[in-house]
Amino acid sequence: MLGLALIFVTKLFILQVYDPSYKFSAESNTRRKVTQYPSRGLVYDRNGKLLVSNQAVYDVMVVPRDIVAFDSIDFCESLNLSKEELRERFVQMRQDIRSRKISTYKPSVFFKQLSAEQYGSFQEKLYKFKGFFVQGRTLRKYEYPSSSHVLGYVGEISEKELKNQTYYTQGDYVGISGIEQTYEEELRGQKGEKYLLVDVHGREKGAFKSGRDDIAAIAGKNITLSLDIDLQQYGEQLMKNKVGSIVAIEPTTGEILTMVSAPNYDPSLLIGRDRSVNYPVLAADSLKPLFNRAIQSRYPPGSTFKTINALIGLQEGTLKPYTTHECFMGYHTRALSVGCHMHDSPLNLSQSIQHSCNAYYCFEFRDILDNPKYGSIQESFNAWKDYLVKFGFGYALGSDFKNENRGFVPNAGTFDRIYNRSWNSLTVISLSIGQGELLTTPLQMANMAAMLANRGHFLTPHIIKDIEETPIDDKYRELHETDIELQHFAPIINGMELAVWGGEGSTARIAQIPGISICGKTGTAQNPHGDDHSIFIAFAPKDDPQIAIAVYVENGGFGATWGAPIASLMVEKYLTDSIQPRRKWIEKRMLEGDLIHAKQKQQEH
């Protein structure tokens, strides 16, 4: 008797406590738990224009152990599936059950993202297919075919990510890149639960217990970006058929006004079921449209970096505004020559920026490294590097983009390893003009322009402007000082103004905007793999900067050829919302310029 009692008690324990599948199976005859997915937060630009909204779709869910024999032809016709596809889905379902990815008694996704029209048609026949039901959710809808690298996209959560958290379940969607990834927790909202009364055929009969056990979903928070969508679209038009980047920042706040990575793609291509088709095509494209060049590419800053070396020299006392140097078509020693273009000589500091003299900065850079106050080249070089770190180089700036590259700034140890500690200021002379081992991102270069506009400080660049009912991170309001005294910026900014407005010999005259005091600096970065890169940094207006910008056009040649005109058009568009008739010819040339196909034709010949 005791033995029989023990058997019954053990069996009851297994049925009621250890194995809940029987309890669930019994309950499923009367009620069904349906997850209520919240709508993701809406995304607006700085002027209140809607960038990202939501659209309704429906997933066909399945509880495997509730399935009974059904008319597969009718089922396939209802979902526009072939018999082979249906068979593959059942095979996959069995494999997932064996590997315990899904449960036989819990709902899982069988067919994703029915449209509203498909849902209406399938819903009429749903009673025929026991074990299946439909669950609503939302997909993203992008209101503009632009800003793909800023906005990012949403996709199904990976198995690796599922292991590290408790909020998501298999089949849930999560932000994968851009602000969709960075602000996932704010945008996603909170899931709810709804219990439905169903009959033995799975037909819904209404709310279970009149909805008393239901938990309402909470919609995600709306966010406002600092992005100006009109300026963003204009920048993407200017960069059409080109490879490179445009980044513009509001200097006083660090807010990113535009972030163009070219070539780009329509973010709508990565929505819903079409994503599985379009993503491999984009990933295989040799021009890498999925790659965000604005934050991930590393380039030499070229001659734009002369402004930084000049500030360091002034702060270190090795350079004065009135210091002059001769230039005989470059800097020449017995060991090497650094070429330069034809211009007046000798030049003072402001004139050296106006004419972008290479020889001037070879002399100036060697004076910094050979400063007698330092005991060795290693000590002086690391002091130079420390200045660069304060300018925002060599490390990620900390923007609200997850994959921001840190660039590269060498230290003395780098050259000790290369040259076995036998090197001097002449060995690293290419750094004087922004070449050599130094690498920066377009975002870092735009931040450099913002720092110059602010005369010595910057705020961490960021794309977020406002989050509904939530303050943005305090780090975006923190000033970063460069430790360069204020008076040292005057000759640098004067030189940048002369580069645009200084007349004959000025390197950036094409960037002139009548009525706007724009200050800029051209750059031409040497490229061992092809044509040089065209670079330009600028800010405007001079005495009340509202925009700082960096343009990088790969294989574009001189900075004045593509970088300067594109930057000046962006500045004019932002400040005046139009392009003056006298500058329409520049706009036309930039819009119609095609460097991608021209390069392809050149390679074919």
Domain at 229-567+595-604: CATH architecture: 3-Layer(aba) Sandwich (3.40)
Question: CA-CA distance, 43 to 466, in Å (whole number)?
Answer: 10
Strands (E), 191-264: 192-198, 204-207, 223-225, 244-250, 255-262
* C-alpha 260 chain-centroid distance: 9
Q: What is the pLDDT of residue 292?
A: 97
**The listed CATH number (3.40.1050.10, 3.40.50.2000, 3.90.1310.10, 1.10.540.10) that belongs to domain 28-225:** 3.90.1310.10
**Regions of the chain short of the pLDDT cut 50:** none
For the record, the structure tokens of 259 come out as: 């972030």
Q: What is the pLDDT of residue 604?
A: 59
Q: What is the pLDDT of residue 373?
A: 95
Q: What is the pLDDT of residue 207?
A: 72
All CATH 3.40.710.10 domain ranges in the chain, comma separated: 229-567+595-604
3-38 in b/e form (b: 16+ CB < 10 A) is: eeeeeeeeeeeeeeeeeeeeebeeebeebbbbbbbb
Q: What is the pLDDT of residue 467?
A: 96
Question: CA-CA distance, 561 to 525, in Å (whole number)?
Answer: 13
Q: What is the pLDDT of residue 204?
A: 62
All CATH 3.90.1310.10 domain ranges in the chain, comma separated: 28-225
The distance between the two most distant Cα atoms of the chain, rounded to a whole number of Å, is: 113
Q: Which residues on neighbouring strands pair with residue 175, listed in sequence order?
A: 154
**Phi, psi for residue 493 in degrees, rounded to 5:** -70, -35
Q: What is the pLDDT of residue 108?
A: 86
Q: What is the pLDDT of residue 601?
A: 65
Q: What is the pLDDT of residue 400?
A: 94
Count other Cβ atoms within 10 Å, centred on residue 159. Answer: 8
Whole-model pTM?
Answer: 0.88
Residues 6 or more apart whose CB falls under 8 angstroms from that of 411 comprise 381, 382, 385
Q: What is the pLDDT of residue 479?
A: 95
Q: What is the pLDDT of residue 199?
A: 66
Count other Cβ atoms within 10 Å, centred on residue 147. Answer: 27
